[in-house]
C-alpha cells in the first residue's frame, strides 16, 4: 500500500504501532507509536491536515480500528479499510473454530502436547492456564523478559514464510497442534497449509467483530477509492 502511494506521487504517513524493535522501512514518511486514544488521533488528523485514512491494521487490532473510525467520523475524514480476506477451511483442514483467545485456551484442555502457538507475543499470558503443553513460539524480536509459559521454545523470524519452511519447522519441533488467528492473506498462510499437509489440527481464532465501514480487499481497490471516494460505500 505504501509503495502504491509513493509511486502515485501522493503524500502519506505510514504509522507503526511500535511493537517490533526494527520496523521495516517504507517509501513514505513513517511514524512509530500510539496516538493517545481517540482524542489523540483526532488531534493528529487535524494538526497534520490528513485528508484520507486507510485502516490497514491487522484484522485483530480491533481497538485501533474502532478508534480510527470514531476519529474519522468526528473530523469528517474519509476512511477505508484495506482488509485481507479471511482463510476458509478446506475438506483437508482439521480446524476447531473458536471466537476468541479464552476459547482457544479452553480448547487446549487435556493431555500435554507440543503446540505451535502462532499468535504473536501480545496474548501469551492466558495460555499459562494450560502449562502442561510445550509451546513453540515464532517471534520477530527476542523476548525482553521471562515468558509466562513454563515450557517454551522460541524461534526468531520475520515473515512472510513459505510452505517448505513451516513444514520443516513443525516437523523439527514435533508439533501436534497449531493455534492461529484467522489473519487471512498470503503472508502468514504457510503455517495453515503446512498443518493441512501434515494432517495436524488447528485451533483457529475468529476475527473480532467490527462496525460496518467501507472496505477494499486490494491495494488497487484502495487506490481507486482515493481517486473516486464515492465509489465505495459501507
**Taking 70 as the threshold, does the pLDDT of residue 228 lie above it?**
yes
The rounded distance, in Å, linking the Cα atoms of 108 and 179 is: 9
If asked whether residues 41 and 110 sit together in one domain, one would say no
Cα atoms in the Cβ-side hemisphere of radius 13 Å centred on 123: 16
If asked whether residues 124 and 137 sit together in one domain, one would say yes
> Cell triple for residue 187?
503472508
Instruction: State residue 124's pLDDT score.
Output: 95
For residue 151, what is the domain's CATH number? 3.40.50
If asked whether residues 224 and 186 sit together in one domain, one would say no
Number of compact structural domains in the chain: 2
If asked whether residues 105 and 124 sit together in one domain, one would say yes
CA distances from 82 to 78, 165, 224 (A): 13, 28, 12
If asked whether residues 19 and 75 sit together in one domain, one would say yes
Instruction: State residue 230's pLDDT score.
Output: 59
How sure is the predictor about 229, in pLDDT bands with cuts at 50, 70 and 90? low
If asked whether residues 126 and 220 sit together in one domain, one would say no
If asked whether residues 114 and 177 sit together in one domain, one would say yes
Residue 89 lies in a domain: no
If asked whether residues 48 and 99 sit together in one domain, one would say no
> Cell triple for residue 78?
474519509
Residue 199 lies in a domain: yes
Residue 11 lies in a domain: yes
If asked whether residues 105 and 27 sit together in one domain, one would say no
Residue 134 lies in a domain: yes
If asked whether residues 173 and 102 sit together in one domain, one would say yes
| Pick from 23-27, 33-37, 181-185: least confident | 23-27
Q: Which residue range(s) make up the domain with 160?
A: 94-205
User: Is the distance from CB of 71 to CB of 42 less than 8 angstroms?
Assistant: yes
Residue 2, classed as helix, strand or coil, is helix
If asked whether residues 115 and 79 sit together in one domain, one would say no
Mean pLDDT of the chain: 93
How sure is the predictor about 122, in pLDDT bands with cuts at 50, 70 and 90? confident
The rounded distance, in Å, linking the Cα atoms of 215 and 82 is: 6
Residue 172 lies in a domain: yes
pTM reported for the whole predicted model? 0.86
Average pLDDT over residues 60-75: 95
How sure is the predictor about 234, in pLDDT bands with cuts at 50, 70 and 90? very low
Residue 50 lies in a domain: yes
Q: What does the radius of gyration of the chain's CA atoms come to, in whole angstroms?
A: 19
If asked whether residues 158 and 191 sit together in one domain, one would say yes
Amino acid at each position: 500500500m505504501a509503495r502504491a502511494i509513493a509511486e502515485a506521487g501522493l503524500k502519506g504517513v505510514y504509522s507503526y504501532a511500535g511493537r517490533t524493535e526494527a520496523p521495516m522501512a517504507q517509501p513514505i514518511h513513517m511514524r512509530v507509536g500510539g496516538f493517545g486514544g481517540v482524542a489523540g488521533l483526532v488531534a493528529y488528523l487535524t494538526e497534520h491536515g490528513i485528508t484520507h485514512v486507510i485502516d490497514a491494521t491487522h484484522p485483530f487490532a480491533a481497538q485501533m480500528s474502532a478508534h480510527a473510525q470514531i476519529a474519522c467520523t468526528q473530523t469528517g475524514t474519509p476512511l477505508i479499510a484495506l482488509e485481507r480476506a479471511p482463510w476458509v477451511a478446506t475438506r483437508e483442514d482439521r480446524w476447531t473454530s473458536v471466537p476468541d483467545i479464552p476459547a482457544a485456551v479452553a480448547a487446549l484442555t487435556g493431555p500435554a502436547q507440543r503446540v505451535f502457538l502462532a499468535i504473536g507475543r501480545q496474548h501469551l499470558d492466558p495460555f499459562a492456564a494450560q502449562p502442561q503443553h510445550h509451546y513453540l513460539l515464532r517471534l520477530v524480536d527476542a523476548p525482553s523478559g521471562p515468558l509466562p509459559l513454563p515450557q517454551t521454545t522460541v524461534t526468531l523470524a520475520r515473515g512472510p514464510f513459505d510452505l517448505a519452511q513451516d513444514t520443516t519447522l513443525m516437523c523439527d519441533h514435533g508439533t501436534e497442534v497449531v493455534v492461529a488467528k484467522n489473519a487471512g492473506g498470503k503472508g502468514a498462510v504457510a503455517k495453515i497449509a503446512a498443518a493441512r499437509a501434515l494432517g495436524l489440527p488447528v485451533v483457529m481464532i475468529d476475527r473480532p467483530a467490527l462496525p460496518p465501514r467501507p472496505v477494499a480487499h486490494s491495494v488497487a481497490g484502495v487506490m481507486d477509492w482515493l481517486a473516486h471516494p464515492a465509489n465505495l460505500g459501507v
